[in-house]
């Protein structure tokens, strides 16, 4: 497995593979890998085959964190990540540095951003108004560096997948996006690098996200069509019955457009964000 640290080296390698007609599958990550990421690697391998190359990027992208967020404390363990990638059959890990990606982030040296102006606005966009600008910018840059034929994203970040698919379509990136299903712990908690913050009783309380999705699924199955406002109010009460849980949002919407629905029926997408103590978690599912 190659470990590539510089932009020039990554572009050189990607161009070499491209010239040879080798397909490139790409999994962008912020590291601290878990089984969910490894399932994305598997999807990438499946998409490009044994003759193709799988690249994983490990880069905690500063521009998608607000100044109040957990950039400095975001969990990192590069040695462990490299070992997991090696075991998973990854061909190259790309670990760029801020100094190269954003020229040290001085506005005088770096001033170009990619902004999606519709699907980025609701839900995560309300609480984290600069988040998707950071995601689309770094993902566009990574696509230009890794030159993938196919890139895999996890369904856990549902809104992110919608924003990226839109960016790829709008800006004509010549690649295919594959969305891979969310992996869950045995008690239903969606796998996330941030689960590491859930110590003691908080870990158990965090299962309330999945329980509320299951509750909504059961209600929709039974009632066929329910008021979104009423369902939101009931689920808020349910979630906040956990002592350290605070609801940020629950939304019910059309999965393709993210347009909110006022009546929730089978096929609607549900997404929610909940803080468990200081840890903000998100989850989603189709009802
Ligand atoms: O989903 C993530 O881990 C990040 O948002 C991504 C896509 C790697 C961009 O930094």
Every domain range in the chain assigned CATH 3.30.1300.10: 193-286
Is-contact 114 144, C-beta < 8 A? no
**Of 258, 263, 213, 265, nearest to 239 (Cα)?**
213
The DSSP bridge pattern shows strands 269-276 and 245-253 to be antiparallel
Each residue's pLDDT, cut to its tens digit, for the chain (287 residues) gives 999 999 999 999 999 999 999 999 999 999 999 999 999 999 999 999 999 999 999 999 999 999 998 899 899 999 999 999 999 999 999 999 999 999 876 667 899 999 999 999 999 999 999 999 999 999 999 999 999 999 999 999 999 999 999 999 999 999 999 999 999 999 999 999 999 999 999 999 999 999 999 999 999 999 999 999 999 999 999 999 999 999 999 999 999 999 999 999 999 999 999 999 999 999 999 99
Every domain range in the chain assigned CATH 3.40.50.620: 2-180
Pocket of ligand 1 contains residue 139 by CB under 6 Å: yes
Task: Give the CATH number of domain 2-180; options: 3.20.140.10, 3.30.70.20, 3.40.50.620, 3.40.50.720.
Answer: 3.40.50.620
Q: What is the pTM of this model?
A: 0.96
The pLDDT tens digits of the residues spanning 207-226 come to 999 999 999 999 999 999 99
37 catalytic residue (yes or no): yes
Considering the domain 193-286, what is its CATH architecture? 2-Layer Sandwich (3.30)
Q: How far apart are the first and last CA of the chain?
A: 41
Taking the CA of residue 57 as reference, the ligand 1 atom at the shortest distance is 8
Give the tokens for residue 179.
């969305």
Pocket of ligand 1 contains residue 28 by CB under 6 Å: yes
Q: Please name the residue whose Cα sits nearest to atom 3 of ligand 1.
A: 29
Residues 6+ apart with CB under 8 A from 87: none
Q: Which of 34, 37, 131, 204 is catalytic?
A: 37
**Of 254, 26, 35, 285, nearest to 153 (Cα)?**
26
Residues 6+ apart with CB under 8 A from 277: 197, 198, 202, 244
Pocket of ligand 1 contains residue 29 by CB under 6 Å: yes
């Amino acid at each position: 497995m190659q470990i590539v640290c510089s932009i020039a080296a990554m572009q050189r390698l990607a161009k070499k593979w491209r010239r040879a007609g080798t397909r490139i599958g790409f999994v962008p990550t912020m590291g601290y890998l878990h089984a969910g990421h490894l399932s994305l690697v598997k999807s990438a391998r499946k998409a490009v085959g044994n003759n193709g190359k799988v690249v994983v990027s490990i880069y905690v992208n500063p521009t998608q964190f607000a100044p109040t967020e957990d950039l400095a404390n975001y969990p990192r363990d590069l040695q462990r990540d490299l070992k997991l990638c090696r075991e998973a059959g990854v061909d190259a890990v790309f670990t760029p540095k801020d100094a190269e990606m954003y020229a040290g982030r001085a506005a005088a040296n770096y001033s170009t951003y990619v902004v999606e102006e519709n699907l980025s606005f609701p839900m995560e966009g309300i609480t984290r108004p600069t988040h998707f600008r950071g995601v689309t910018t770094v993902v566009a840059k990574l696509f230009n560096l890794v030159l993938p034929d196919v890139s895999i994203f996890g369904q856990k970040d549902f809104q992110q997948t919608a924003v990226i698919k839109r960016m790829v379509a709008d800006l004509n990136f010549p690649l295919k996006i594959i969305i891979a299903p969310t992996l869950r712990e045995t008690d239903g908690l969606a796998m996330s690098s941030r689960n590491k913050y859930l110590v003691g009783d908080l870990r158990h309380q965090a299962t309330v996200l999945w329980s509320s999705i299951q509750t909504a699924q059961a209600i929709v199955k039974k009632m066929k069509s329910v008021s979104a406002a009423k369902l939101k109010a009931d689920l808020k009460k349910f979630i906040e019955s956990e002592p350290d849980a605070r609801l940020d949002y629950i939304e019910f919407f059309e999965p393709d457009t993210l347009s909110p629905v006022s009546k929730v029926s089978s096929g609607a997408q549900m997404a929610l964000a909940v803080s468990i103590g200081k840890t903000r978690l998100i989850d989603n599912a189709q009802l």
